[in-house]
Chains A and B, each alone.
Chain A
Amino acid sequence: AQRVTQPEKLLSVFKGAPVELKCNYSYSGSPELFWYVQYSRQRLQLLLRHISRESIKGFTADLNKGETSFHLKKPFAQEEDSAMYYCALGDNAGNMLTFGGGTRLMVKP
């Protein structure tokens, strides 16, 4: 069975500080990993996916198969980054996304 764990429910940092939102997964196949974000009063939306190896809004995430992790990082947090972040794992069949419990990021001025 696939599982995604986000150990921190809440992460609070000051503006300009580095941010790392942790995500660990458990999956027997070849993982496809995503980060979704939900800003206040907005819909859940895709932030980035590991296959694209992209940087969105200054965020990056590297898949570490040895540690089964896909942590989301940003060197300098901004207040507008405050949101709920969900790590998600796609299954081999390509039909189901398993989400972690989410981490609420609060960036203080």
Chain B
Amino acid sequence: DSGVTQTPKHLITATGQRVTLRCSPRSGDLSVYWYQQSLDQGLQFLIQYYNGEERAKGNILERFSAQQFPDLHSELNLSSLELGDSALYFCASSVGIQGARNEKLFFGSGTQLSVL
């Protein structure tokens, strides 16, 4: 167990809907990262937060947004969902601000999103 908790484990919804994915980082970790894993795109970095502030942005669509709360948990909001948004969404955390380059990332078990 990495200590990173993601809920829900599975989510089934319809096109056009909005969902929220939740991530609780390991105790003491200040950075949270979101990744999307799909069959055709592999693992894609979406966004990173450090201590409540956005730190880096990757291939995140405008329909998607995220935030990190004072208790350090993070939420990824996906809106106007399309079939192509179906994927496994991973959250990861690390201790500090250095980010993935110099630190070990601890991954959650992911949320499987199915858009029908």
List residues of A whose CB falls within 8 A of some B CB.
32, 43-46, 51, 86, 88, 90-102
List residues of B whose CB falls within 8 A of some A CB.
2, 4, 33, 35, 42-45, 48, 55-56, 58, 90, 92, 98-102, 104-110
Q: List 12 A-B contacts (CB under 8 A).
A: A43-B2, A44-B90, A86-B43, A90-B100, A90-B101, A94-B99, A94-B102, A95-B56, A95-B101, A96-B99, A96-B100, A99-B43
Q: Name A49's closest neighbour in chain B (CB-CB).
A: B104
Q: Which residues of the other chain, A, contact B102 by a CB distance below 8 angstroms?
A: 32, 51, 90, 94
Interchain CB contact under 8 A, B104 and A46:
yes
Q: Which residues of the other chain, B, contact A99 by a CB distance below 8 angstroms?
A: 35, 42-45
Q: Which residues of the other chain, A, contact B105 by a CB distance below 8 angstroms?
A: 46, 97
Q: Which residues of the other chain, A, contact B35 by a CB distance below 8 angstroms?
A: 99
| A43, A93, A98, A100 interface centre (most CB from chain B within 10 Å) | A43
